[in-house]
Amino acid sequence: MISKSLAEYAVEVKYEDLPKEVVEFTKLCILDWYGSALAGKGEKPIQTILELVQEWGGNEQATLITGGKSSVGNACLVNAAASHIVELDDIHKSSIIHAGTVVIPAAAAVAEAYNLNGKELITAVAVGYEICYRIGEAVSPSHYYYWHNTATCGTFGSAAAAAKLLNLTVEQTMYALGNAGSQAAGLWEFIEDGANTKQLHTAKAAYNGVLAALLAKKDFTSASRILEGRRGFFNAMSEKYDSEKITKNLGKEYKIIENSFKIHASCRHTHPAMDCVQAIMKENCLSYEHIQNISILTYQTVLNITDNPNPETVYASKFSSQFCSALIALKGSASIIDYNEEILQSLEVRELMKKVTVAVDPYYENAYPEKWGAKVVITLNDGSIFCKATDYPKGDPEKPASREELIKKFKTMTLDKIWNTDEHIQAVLRLEEIDTAEWMSLALGEEQCKQTQ
Amino acid sequence: MISKSLAEYAVEVKYEDLPKEVVEFTKLCILDWYGSALAGKGEKPIQTILELVQEWGGNEQATLITGGKSSVGNACLVNAAASHIVELDDIHKSSIIHAGTVVIPAAAAVAEAYNLNGKELITAVAVGYEICYRIGEAVSPSHYYYWHNTATCGTFGSAAAAAKLLNLTVEQTMYALGNAGSQAAGLWEFIEDGANTKQLHTAKAAYNGVLAALLAKKDFTSASRILEGRRGFFNAMSEKYDSEKITKNLGKEYKIIENSFKIHASCRHTHPAMDCVQAIMKENCLSYEHIQNISILTYQTVLNITDNPNPETVYASKFSSQFCSALIALKGSASIIDYNEEILQSLEVRELMKKVTVAVDPYYENAYPEKWGAKVVITLNDGSIFCKATDYPKGDPEKPASREELIKKFKTMTLDKIWNTDEHIQAVLRLEEIDTAEWMSLALGEEQCKQTQ
């Protein structure tokens, strides 16, 4: 009973059992999510979802990151969409999931609506990460070819986090997971158009999981073997899968600490090459004008998702390995403010992009998804050659980002978005001592502060 | 551009171009849907969804079939779930879709919220049916093994109907279809547990399609080739597919008139055999007590979905060929009131069920899904043998249900649910002369009437 084992696990975990390291790390995940949500809340697709949610209306149960309150469902839609759009949210390599953008808004909305405290929130987030990571690992990489794991597997994560917060029984948690799986959706096809669908995916993954859990609380039933069943998630949506990933060491480890944080403001698959380009340029004091060619050798998925020599929007540029490598060669950094319309249209970057080639290297292909690596060879006009390789992008557990780096990243992301930055940071970093509503009231306060200006 | 051709079609269709036959037939579909929704609104899973929707709240945009008003999204959830639970909603054989339960609640909610009239509603429903039927035909039967077509393909239908009502451009309609496809979900695994998931599927298909269309109205973008794209709906979710089904005769015919209506109150796949059992028993004046064996020979899908020798709930009994055939042999009919706990637990039916066998016959398997047929052989204790076969269940276009039969069915379904039955029937049958809100106000009036009793 694979599905049942996850439900039993979710019910058993207690805050008191979480190692201190896990509690501290989970709070950093929440901080990183919060920064992404605040950074993204003003973007057009998020404002569009907000507009619709306001037309629909809802009881004031949970804070919208954009200001005001609405129903738990509406808060999931807005807050999950907001946290995924600036492409700076966390990622877990072996499951290929951005868990934060789905699990945390779901958990925060439920915790606020049901007056739950920070300890309960932290526990639920750790459980949500654990469950969607395990499911993602079980179906990767084959599932990922068609499906956006963050959306599909993420739905189980938001359901599990909500189920934990709602104190569901094992049976009810199975209902939540079952109806999460039967709502799991999200095709990669949108990437061809650089479309807004990506934000809809995270919005709906958070919403769907919470819907499943809230219905489960009322004993709304589901498939009991949603993962392993003959017509369940594994068989229907994955060419190959490994059920053992679900149960191996379950309850004996916390996969959330395998989480990676992003430093560059683009799709994670563009990062290994960008790190190499950045290092070659810096270490050898090179100027982009002398570059004849940038050759990237990496794993197949990089090509599937980011082989785009001509991105037309700033958003699409974050999914173009050609653009991202050219940008960092040109500017030396690729933070949220480095991606803009001006640089995208500049002759310098357009010329440099033409010199970037991306190809598969069997070494990296075989190592993926455990390692997300790349080798970059830069050839200058004078014929000189520079090479750099990495098995991991910066921010991975193997090349970790420090607490201080993440606080700095939060500050950069929220630079012109919030007033009392330190208060927000402190609220998250002492979340185990406060109620979820107290943290969320800061976001509400910011909006009121702004409106009275 | 397969996906685009559907968007162009949806934009081009006008009420004035619909043949009178199509208008009349569409109203019968709406009447049949309405009956199912009224019949199902009091069931526990529907009341559970209603409870959650009430906790969430929403602006009073559209009527809930259960009483009161809420947001368009919430109305989709409640009304679509309500209309699927008594298993009497319409079905299209070659696409294996119950379109009414998804397309009509979506269209009705949008039409009411945006003050649109009956002509606009009828046109949108015809368009919604057309589009989901074509998509269902393109992916059947392979898609249907894992996926509940009503949920997955139905999402495109609700999106298309809403897009038509919202008067979207071709581009916006493509966005609506694109984001419908990227939300399409619904696995058959729940059937093993006879779980409430089935109602969640239709609820969410209606909701997701409308969400996609309302966002599209605000230019929220999506994949432009959601069906045919490399990582789109066809490739991801179907072993085989036939794109030609999408475009062949598009705009030259109206597939809604291929719709089948159900007379027996169970899963459609149980019907061909039930018709044969009913005819053998009646024509030969047989009594169930003399039956030694009922042998059903049919297509594989009947076994996949309804081979259940021991259903434990009334709901599950509607998905058991063994129970359904035993029931109709015993009672001579299988209407909504014939399915109940008492008969399910009765010794007579339990004994008779043990005598029912279901097996595949190559003739019916090869003819499926164009024909949903079965052959039944009943052997009596005295050794005498009776045989009956059909290529189509009653209510199929080849064995059509008349307007009068459908009105009679509506009355049976709503017997103890509404007060002024004739007024409801008349409102739907002259829908082209009134506003959607006028029709829906009857449902509201009924609730008020009941409450003041």
pLDDT (tens place) for every residue of chain A, 453 residues total? 899 999 999 999 999 999 999 999 999 999 999 999 999 999 999 999 999 999 999 999 999 999 999 999 999 999 999 999 988 999 998 999 999 999 999 999 999 999 999 999 999 999 999 999 999 999 999 999 999 999 999 999 999 999 999 999 999 999 999 999 999 999 999 999 989 999 999 999 999 999 999 999 999 999 999 999 999 999 999 999 999 999 999 999 999 999 999 989 899 899 999 999 999 999 999 999 999 999 999 999 999 999 999 999 998 999 999 999 999 999 998 988 899 999 999 999 999 999 999 999 999 999 998 899 999 999 999 999 999 999 999 999 999 998 998 998 999 899 888 989 999 999 999 999 999 999 999 988 776 666 554
- Residues in chain B with pLDDT values less than 70: 447-453
CA distance A221 to chain B (A): 5
Between the alpha carbon of residue A321 and those of residues A223, A298, A310, the distances in Å are 41, 11, 10
Residues of A in contact with B211 (CB under 8 A): 52
User: Which residue in A143, A153, A197 has the most chain B C-beta atoms within 10 A of its own C-beta, making it the best mutation to test that interface?
Assistant: A197
Residues 6+ apart with CB under 8 A from B174: B3, B4, B7, B222, B224
Tell me if B198 sits within 8 A of B218, measured CB to CB: no
Instruction: Tell me if the bond preceding A369 is cis, omega within 30° of 0.
Output: yes
The enclosing H or E element of B424 equals helix B421-429
Q: What is the dihedral of CA A230, A236, A242, A247, to 10 degrees?
A: -60
The enclosing H or E element of B205 equals helix B197-217
CA A346 to chain centre: 29
Q: What is the pLDDT of residue B448?
A: 61
3-class DSSP string for chain A: CHHHHHHHHHHHCCHHHCCHHHHHHHHHHHHHHHHHHHHHCCCHHHHHHHHHHHHHCCCCCEECCCCCEECHHHHHHHHHHHCCCCCCCCEECCCCECCHHHHHHHHHHHHHHCCCEHHHHHHHHHHHHHHHHHHHHHHCCHHHHHECHHHHHHHHHHHHHHHHHCCCCHHHHHHHHHHHHCCCCCEHHHHHHCCCHHHHHHHHHHHHHHHHHHHHHCCCCCCCCCCCCCCCHHHHHCCCCCCHHHHCCECCECHHHHCECCCCCCCHHHHHHHHHHHHHHHHCCCCHHHEEEEEEEECHHHHHHHCCCCCCCHHHHCCCHHHHHHHHHHHCCCCCCCCCHHHHHCHHHHHHHCCEEEEECHHHHHHCCCCCCEEEEEEECCCCEEEEEECCCCCCCCCCCCHHHHHHHHHHHCCCCCCCHHHHHHHHHCHHHCEHHHHHHHHHHHHHHHHCC
Of B48, B178, B236, the CB nearest to A147: B236
Of A182, A187, A220, the CB nearest to B201: A182
Q: Which CATH class is domain B268-390?
A: alpha beta
Q: What is the pLDDT of residue B336?
A: 86
CA distance B189 to B203: 17
Exposure of A293 by Cβ count < 10 A (0-12 exposed, 13-18 middle, 19+ buried)? Answer: middle
Residues of A in contact with B146 (CB under 8 A): 231, 235-236
CA B208 to chain centre: 17
Gap between the terminal Cα atoms of chain A:
57
Q: Which residue has the tokens 């129903």?
A: A71
What residue spans in chain B does CATH classification 1.10.4100.10 cover? 2-258
Cα angle B285, B289, B293; round to 5: 95
CA distance B103 to B159: 8
Q: What is the pLDDT of residue A277?
A: 98
Q: What is the pLDDT of residues A414-452, one digit of tens each?
A: 988 898 999 999 999 999 999 999 999 998 877 666 655
Pairing relationship of beta strands B62-63 and A291-298 according to DSSP bridges = unpaired
The enclosing H or E element of B232 equals none
Q: What is the pLDDT of residue A449?
A: 61
Q: What is the pLDDT of residue B315?
A: 86
Q: What is the pLDDT of residues B197-233, one digit of tens each?
A: 999 999 999 999 999 999 999 999 999 999 999 999 9
Region of residue A67 (left: phi > 0; alpha: psi -120 to 50; beta: else):
left
CA distance A92 to chain B (A): 22
CA distance A39 to A179: 32
Gap between the terminal Cα atoms of chain B:
57
CA distance A200 to B120: 28
Nearest to A12 by CA among A20, A1, A22, A4: A4
Q: What is the pLDDT of residue B237?
A: 98
Of A49, A52, A226, the CB nearest to B189: A226
Residue of A nearest to B50 (CA): A215
Identify residue B334 by its one-letter amino acid code.
Answer: A
Q: Which residue has the tokens 């569901």?
A: A168
How big is the A-B interface in CB pairs under 8 Å? 201
Of B146, B208, B233, the CB nearest to A236: B146
CA distance A230 to chain B (A): 7
CB atoms within 10 A of CB B369: 18
Nearest to B265 by CA among B85, B132, B392: B85
Q: Which residue has the tokens 């039916």?
A: B349
Q: At A15, list the tokens.
A: 């805050």
Give buried/exposed letters for B194-233 (b at 16+ CB in 10 A, else e). Answer: bbbbbbbbbbbbbbbbbbbbbbbbbebbbbbbbbbbebbb
- A2-258 under CATH 3.40.50.620, yes or no: no
- What is the ipTM, given to two decimal places? 0.89
CA distance A414 to A38: 6
Nearest to A276 by CA among A395, A397, A394: A394
Q: What is the pLDDT of residue A335?
A: 84
Of B45, B178, B184, the CB nearest to A197: B178
CA distance A304 to B160: 30
CA distance B204 to A179: 11
Q: What is the pLDDT of residue A337?
A: 81
Q: What is the pLDDT of residue B32?
A: 97
Instruction: Tell me if the bond preceding B369 is cis, omega within 30° of 0.
Output: yes
Q: Under an 8 A CB cutoff, do B71 and A49 touch? A: no
CA distance B31 to B36: 9
Q: At B2, list the tokens.
A: 């397969």
Residues of B in contact with A175 (CB under 8 A): 195
User: Can you tell me whether residue B88 is helix, strand or coil?
Assistant: coil
Identify residue B352 by its one-letter amino acid code.
Answer: L
Give me the sheet containing A356-360, strands edge to edge.
A356-360, A291-298, A374-380, A385-390
Q: Under an 8 A CB cutoff, do B185 and A182 touch? A: yes
CA distance B303 to B356: 13
Q: Under an 8 A CB cutoff, do A196 and B235 touch? A: no
Q: What is the pLDDT of residue A450?
A: 62
Q: What is the pLDDT of residue A448?
A: 61
Q: At B341, list the tokens.
A: 């706990």
CA B138 to chain centre: 18
